[in-house]
Chains A and B, each alone.
Chain A
Amino acid sequence: QVQLQESGPGLVKPSQTLSLTCTVSGDSISSGGYYWSWIRQHPGKGLECFGYIYYTGTSYYNPSLKSRLTMSVDTSKNQFSLRLSSVTAADTAVYYCARALIGSTWYYFDYWGQGTLVTVSS
């Protein structure tokens, strides 16, 4: 059974960098066939996708977040990570990591982490 688990600080100060890691079990990131993604949900609001990354490092970023965003993969640890710089209170949200199954004309997120709340506050 594939499982994803987010980890990282639950509290980040404004202007600092938010860093989260997703540890994958039950599947090898480097086996290919899947992309790995970060999605967030502001309190009581909808979902926003940061983008997704392949085990080779090929990545696609949400244009609205691209200037502050870095995603990376560590195949030796079977993890992938998110870094979001210059955070503000507007970045307070539940952050999910997810696995994306992508076909020629379709995709979907088939496994998700449980989510981790990150609060931006001084």
Chain B
Amino acid sequence: QSVLTQPPSASGTPGQRVTISCSVSSSNIGSHTVNWYQQLPGMAPKVLIYSNNQRPSGVPDRFSGSKSGTSASLAISGLQSEDEADYYCAAWDDSLNVVFGGGTKLTVL
């Protein structure tokens, strides 16, 4: 069972703003920063957000991240059909092991 808990699914219509949550259930992760990855069907994951709210070069500013205490969120504004994918949060634990959330399947209606 993952110590990073995500809803299994989320949905929205084109143009809408959607958020995906990531709840940290382990005290040895709560102090560490959270990353978000997007995985399109049949593809390797791609980083969208690192260090809670930083976007790597090339990631559209429609994607934003936040973290408060033991809860993190990914927000996607101006939802597009190409955003339909699986989204994973990830974090370090105190032993420097990388742990991933179970993933959220985003459907664009």
Contact = CB atoms under 8 A, between A and B. Distances in A.
Interface in A82-96: 96
A49 B51 contact: no
Size category of the B interface is 20 to 34
A46 B103 contact: yes
Interface in A75-110: 96, 98, 103, 105-110
A47 B100 contact: yes
Contacts of B103: 46-47
B35 A112 contact: no
B45 A109 contact: yes
Size category of the A interface is 20 to 34
A49 B98 contact: yes
Nearest to B45: A112
A46 B88 contact: yes
B109 interface: no
A49 B100 contact: yes
Closest 3 CB pairs of A and B: A106-B51, A112-B44, A108-B50
28 contacts: A37-B98, A39-B98, A46-B102, A47-B37, A47-B45, A47-B90, A47-B100, A47-B103, A49-B98, A49-B99, A51-B97, A52-B98, A62-B98, A96-B44, A96-B45, A103-B51, A105-B32, A105-B33, A105-B51, A106-B33, A106-B35, A106-B51, A106-B54, A107-B35, A107-B92, A108-B56, A112-B44, A113-B44
Given A46-B102, A107-B35, A107-B92, 8 more contacts: A37-B98, A46-B100, A47-B90, A48-B100, A96-B45, A107-B98, A109-B47, A110-B47
